[in-house]
Amino acid sequence: MATRLPGAPALEREQLLDFLYQMLLIRRFEERSAEQYGRQKIGGFLHLYIGQEAVAVGAVAALSPEDYIVSHYREHGHALARGCDPKRVMAELFGREGGVSRGKGGSMHLFDKERHFLGGYAIVAGHLPIAVGLGLSGQYLGQDRIAVAFFGDGAVNEGAFHESLNLAAVWKVPVLFICENNQYAMGTEISRVSAETEVYKRALAYNLHAEQVDGMDVVAVYEATKRLAERARSGEGPMFLEAMTYRFRGHSMADPELYRSKEETQRWLGRDPIARLKDRLENADLLREEEYTDLDRRAREAVDEAVRWADASPPPPPEALWTDVYVGRGPVRGRDHA
Amino acid sequence: MPEITYREAISQALQEELNADERVFLMGEDIGAYGGSYAVTKGFLEAYGEKRVRDTPISEEAIVGCAIGAAMGGLKPIAELMTINFSLLAMDQIVNNAAKILYMSGGQVPVPFVLRTVSGGGLQLGAQHSQSLESWYAQVPGLVVVAPATPYDAKGLLKSAIREPNPVLFVEHSLLYRVRGEVPEGDYTVPIGEADVKREGKDVTIVAYLRTLGLALEVADRLAREEGVEAEVVDLRTLRPLDLEPVFASVKKTNRAVIVEDAWQTGGLSGEIAGRIQDEVFDWLDAPVKRLNAPDVPMPYARNLEQLALPTADQLYDLVLETLQ
């Protein structure tokens, strides 16, 4: 059996199989999340990452474990790619005490400080200046770490996007902005609301080094991220990566998808990042069908286990309502002044 | 004890904390080369360099968001918004991020930073530069809101704010920078979350903060001189968490209370305080709790109109006498 993929000589077979496993894990996790939402185990909003797996998996694999990551509200994939325990991520979706954010964040606010995964944020572009600050802290303290922010094409028309890119560039902050351009800001197609639809060009206006990459190709995303992360790390200032991708499901569970055609979705389904990597590996004689089946079975089992574990985790105790409002001072509740 | 201005007291606190902790740094619009729009950080850039005194673009949201991220990364940022009016451009960062991250993360991620800003009218700066919005932020769980009225409290509270493990909105007042008072040299702190009785009295309680503390003390002196009335003046100093124990204790003694603030009355802190007084010490009250606020209008430019749009000593004097009738 071959050991290297043509065109990607730097990647070991083991790593490529791991990419495949992680994308399958995210895919199966999201499918089960949708099902659990239907059973009302999960409340509120649920934004599925299905279709975009190559971006999270490729990008996060290219980072150091010390690098900071912040993300938007479609962040289950980034958290899982970062190594957050699927059991605890599912428990967070269930609103249970065992959740990564102890049930107080929910689907849109996953935090895992140990892994420097510093949050999903639900105000569009609101986390981009935070990424600049995280990058600044590394630069200020002389640490060998960068900050990475994931966001969508919807974020690029917010003031926070422009303010953040400019500030990062002026201060040469080691931050990598990764725009997952899935062509739709909720239900609005990018050309209807963006005068410049090639997002990376906006970054060029702030003198960032900016590139576009095929976000349905996990190897391409990995290589681009690796290159840009190293440039940011070595003091070249902020970097920008636009990953061209597509979400196969609706914006959230309530989305009837009236704004796009079945034909368009069908076309993108033909570029499914999981099927593409599988085919590429098989064609290069790096993967056998039974190995793929085995990876998928492992992913499904991990997700089954996550659902069981989440369901067994208790809800947060009522007292948790009042904790974590402040560090080191009692909750400020009604008539108390503590 | 040396007598210095409110401006100098704040400047001293900043310098002492910059000297004490390498992780402390300042960022904001025109704080460096220009020296600060209220000259609080004059000379800082030369003394501390560009790493620690960082001029920013006019990007309020990025200033506050960057401070939040830097705090999450282990630094102790002191960000400055030139006036509280501009904080509206950063409200998403202050309310949706700074105040929520600890809670949303289930207690994993504290956000310790200080956001200094300047509140208040009275300088004919018009409707967009004269607001007193601190009471808005005092409603938000997760934020600490500090509002010192004297040079002593300004220095001591700023030092506490910089050492506080939570996000602190530190509100200064544009008309107080020249106020003088005794301030110790060197290190001391004033605790956050403790109101302070600035003048003792037995006949009526006046609750004030920021600029209105000066009004309250002036009126208390006049009342003593002209009417033989001894007013007790409580300075809130911290607006969140709000320490009303000294107010309740005072009302138990005086049986009367007047609250004075520069904010608009509708939805202001004065209503909250009046409500809490009635919850806690209703049986001690001999008169309805009175409030003196700014009228519910945008700030006009014309000098005569602006003076009508801010609480005055005469109005406070009359209101206190009303509660004593």
Distance CA A187, CA B280 (A): 52
Angle, alpha carbons B215-B221-B226 (nearest 5°): 120
For residue B71, the distance in angstroms to the closest alpha carbon of chain A comes to: 8
Residues lower than pLDDT 70 in chain B: none
d(CA B140, CA A19): 43
**Rounded Cα distance, B50 and B118, in Å:** 23
Q: How far apart are the first and last CA of chain B?
A: 41
pTM over 0.95: yes
Residues of B assigned a catalytic role: 60, 129
Are residues B102 and A131, on separate chains, in Cβ contact within 8 Å?
Answer: no
Strand partners, A68: A147
Check CB contact of B64 with chain A, cutoff 8 Å: yes
B46-89 pLDDT, tens digit each:
999 999 999 999 999 999 999 999 999 999 999 999 999 999 99
User: Do A136 and A171 touch, CB atoms closer than 8 A?
Assistant: yes
* DSSP labels, B243-307: --HHHHHHHHHHS-EEEEEEEESTT-HHHHHHHHHHHHHGGG-SS--EEEEE-SSPPPSSHHHHH
CA distance, residue B279 to nearest chain A CA (Å): 9
Residue with token string 């303010």: A163
The gap between the terminal CA atoms of chain A, to the nearest Å, is: 67
Distance of CA A301 to the CA centre of its chain: 22
| Separation between Cα atoms, residue A179 and residue A171, nearest integer Å | 21
d(CA A46, CA A43): 8
pLDDT in tens, B243-290: 999 999 999 999 999 999 999 999 999 999 999 999 999 999 999 999
A280-337 per-position pLDDT tens digit:
999 999 999 999 999 999 999 999 999 999 999 999 999 999 999 999 987 665 544 4
A2: pLDDT strictly greater than 90: no
Kindly identify which residue of chain A lies nearest to residue B106, measuring between CA atoms.
A101
> Cβ(A20)–Cβ(A180) under 8 Å?
no
Beta strands B204-208 and B231-235: pairing type? parallel
Which is more confidently placed, A254 or A312? A312
Considering chain B, what percentage of its residues have pLDDT values greater than 90?
Answer: 100
| pLDDT (mean) for A69-97 | 98
Contact check, Cβ <8 Å, A326/B67: no
pLDDT, one tens digit per residue, over A159-205 is: 999 999 999 999 999 999 999 999 999 999 999 999 999 999 999 99
DSSP state of A279: H
Distance from CA of B278 to the nearest CA of A (A): 11
Is A163–B61 a contact, with Cβ atoms under 8 angstroms apart?
yes
Measuring CA to CA, which residue among B150, B141, B144 is closest to residue B197?
Answer: B150
When pLDDT is cut at 50, 70 and 90, the band that residue A124 belongs to is very high
Q: Does B163 touch chain A (CB under 8 A)?
A: no
Q: Do the Cβ atoms of B73 and A129 come within 8 Å?
A: no
